[in-house]
Amino acid sequence: MTNADQELRRTSLYETHKAAGAKMVPFAGYEMPVQYTGVIDEHNAVREAAGLFDVSHMGEFEARGKEAGAFIHKMVTNNVRRLDVGGVLYAAMCREAGGIVDDLTVYRLEEERYMAVVNAANIEKDWEWMASHHAEDCAFENVSEETGLLALQGPRAEPVLAKLIPGGGDLEAIPYYGARYKDVAGCEVLVSRTGYTGEDGFELYCKSADAPALWDALISEGGSEGLKPCGLGARDTLRTEMKYALYGNDIDESTHPLEAGLGWVVRYKAGDFIGREKLLALKAEGIKRKLVGFEMVDRGIPRHGAPILIEGEEAGEVTSGTMSPSLGKAIGIGYVPAANADVGAALEIDIRGKARRAQIVKTPFYRKS
Amino acid sequence: MELPSGLKYSREHEWVRVEGNIAVIGITDFAQSELGDVVYVELPEGGTEVEANNTFGVVESVKAVSDLFAPVSGVVVEANTTLEDQPELVNSEPYEDGWMIRVEMKDESELSDLLEADSYRAYVEEESG
């Protein structure tokens, strides 16, 4: 066993995954299930019925106190002030120079209590960045270790979850990007109608010690609805079909939200946030490159890092790509010059030294029929 | 793990079925199971020369790209073009309809570097710990 293996962390569901025959791989410093039965099978379960993912590796920070809302508002590009209790929003967190520190969701759990949910690979970096800005009149705590997180996704997610809540939980009253505390299978769970798949569904925050019991209850109640345990492989194909950005692939500190297609979560008028001046300047200058989605015309699967060619010249790079299980086509995401970013524009992708034709298409790639 | 006897196996997880001076080549049941759902196969055209232990193509699962290594040297006489539209045959029938190329061997003595089913099984069990 190498040192790298020894340093890998495990979620409270590790033994559950092993017992279910999951294939485990290193991801963001954690040993996580990449698949159970097969990526395509799990992908289709989420599109057609329901899938259950362990995403407990993600990080959760809580801010409490009078200044908690103002603190989080200053850190992220979206308008935290408009959040009501039980509301959720998606945002980017930027450096002063506009580079993306992370993308995250923000929850207003109580009047003066907020939660930021960050990518596993960025927990330490985000913590340092946020803690270095945090206000006097606000407690700020990293609760990642004690927090478990399951994603229950797919058109049958709601009926599956309802079975585990006394009286059904009135789930239809939870709007998209809304969250409520519920008693699920005897555990206190923050039920959030959010996700990373393009399907209806929930993200379920619980105590990490409760996660295995919650997982088992969902799997045993969900089987008759077609629920399957899913790994990170399917999570990636599902999010790629929606062109949802993956931090470290499509966005990072060298990219800013405007070129990454995240301008819709940048609210300049709502007041000050870190990076606002720079993003306003970038907007005024005009965006130089854009993150676009494309389909392959020739055979081949575009992968992260493959050069994008325009008229034979290298013009950008593929940031994500896969064979899309729902479309049966090879699809990719990458940055191209803004002048060449229109839907229908022809590109070539250099795959193993051979230029292969591709075409920019509308995204999301996948739309529910 | 299915390992038909009568085939030869390489340490890169390809199999060879010898038919006269022709080597039929594919990847083993172990290899397809490690890869997961195969979604793309890129093979050389007929007439291409391949050399033992060098790459002759690529097999891709949803997540990963893997090189294919030629177990023997020779000239490709036929590639399994069915795999262009049905790459999943590599998963479902690795030793039958999931075959990849037929090679006219240049040096049949190279076959003696390959493993029999039993020794390949022992090799895989040792490698996967």
User: Where are the domains positioned within chain A?
Assistant: 3-58+146-241, 59-135
Which of A237, A300, A352 has its CB closest to that of B62? A237
pLDDT tens per residue, range A326-340: 999 999 999 999 999
Cα atoms in the 13 Å half-sphere on the side-chain side of A239:
16
Band the pLDDT of A369: cuts 50, 70, 90.
confident
pLDDT tens per residue, range A10-37: 999 999 999 999 999 999 999 999 999 9
In a domain, B77, yes or no: yes
Residue of chain B whose Cα is closest to the Cα of A300:
B40
d(C-alpha B37, C-alpha B88), whole Å:
7
CATH code of the domain covering residue B105: 2.40.50.100
**Chain B interface includes A35 (CB < 8 A):** yes
What value does the mean pLDDT take over residues B22-34? Answer: 97
Taking Cα atoms as reference points, which of A265, A214, A328 lies closest to residue A83? A265
Percent of chain A with pLDDT over 90: 96
Size of interface A-B (CB pairs under 8 A): 37
Taking Cα atoms as reference points, which of B16, B7, B3, B4 lies closest to residue B70? B16
pLDDT at position A137 is 82
Please state, rounded to an integer, the average pLDDT across all residues of chain B.
96
pLDDT tens per residue, range A72-119: 999 999 999 999 999 999 999 999 999 999 999 999 999 999 999 999
Evaluate if residue B28 carries a pLDDT over 70: yes
Which of A23, A40, A352 has its CB closest to that of B37? A40
What value does the mean pLDDT take over residues A301-328? Answer: 97
In a domain, B126, yes or no: no
Strands (E), B47-110: 49-50, 55-61, 65-69, 74-79, 101-105
Residue of chain B whose Cα is closest to the Cα of A328:
B39
Evaluate if residue A5 carries a pLDDT over 80: no
A39·B36 Cβ contact <8 A? yes
Which of A39, A299, A330 has its CB closest to that of B63? A39
Contacts of A165 (CB under 8 A, 6+ apart): A171, A182, A183, A184
Question: Please, are residues A141 and A115 in contact by the beta-carbon 8 Å criterion?
Answer: no
Domain A3-58+146-241 superfamily per CATH = Probable tRNA modification gtpase trme; domain 1 (3.30.1360.120)
B62·A323 Cβ contact <8 A? yes
**Chain A interface includes B36 (CB < 8 A):** yes
| Interface mutation vs chain A, best among B35, B39, B68, B91, most A CBs within 10 Å | B39
pLDDT at position B70 is 98
For A59-135, CATH gives: 3.30.70.1400
pLDDT at position A2 is 44
User: Which tokens in the block code for residue A60?
Assistant: 């959760």
Residues 66-85 of B with CB under 8 A from A: 84
B63·A233 Cβ contact <8 A? yes
Smallest CA–CA distance, residue A179 to chain B, in Å, is 32
| Interface mutation vs chain B, best among A24, A40, A299, most B CBs within 10 Å | A40
What value does the mean pLDDT take over residues A184-200? Answer: 98
Evaluate if residue A44 carries a pLDDT over 50: yes
**Chain B interface includes A40 (CB < 8 A):** yes
SS (H, E, C) A45-63: HHHHCEEEEECCCCEEEEE
pLDDT at position A6 is 57
Question: Please, are residues A128 and A282 in contact by the beta-carbon 8 Å criterion?
Answer: no
In a domain, B46, yes or no: yes
pLDDT at position B129 is 66
pLDDT at position A62 is 98
Residue of chain B whose Cα is closest to the Cα of A36:
B36
In a domain, B129, yes or no: no
| Interface mutation vs chain A, best among B33, B37, B41, B91, most A CBs within 10 Å | B37
d(C-alpha A89, C-alpha A97), whole Å:
23
Band the pLDDT of A271: cuts 50, 70, 90.
confident
Band the pLDDT of A1: cuts 50, 70, 90.
very low
pLDDT at position B56 is 97
pLDDT tens per residue, range A139-174: 999 999 999 999 999 999 999 999 999 999 999 999
Q: Categorise residue B47: left if φ over 0, alpha if ψ from -120 to 50, beta otherwise.
A: left
A322·B62 Cβ contact <8 A? yes
Within A99-168, residue ranges assigned H as helices are 123-131, 157-163
In a domain, B72, yes or no: yes
pLDDT at position B58 is 97
pLDDT tens per residue, range B39-98: 999 999 999 999 999 999 999 999 889 999 999 999 999 999 999 999 999 999 999 999
* Structural domains of chain B, count: 1
Residues spanned by the domain of B87: 9-109
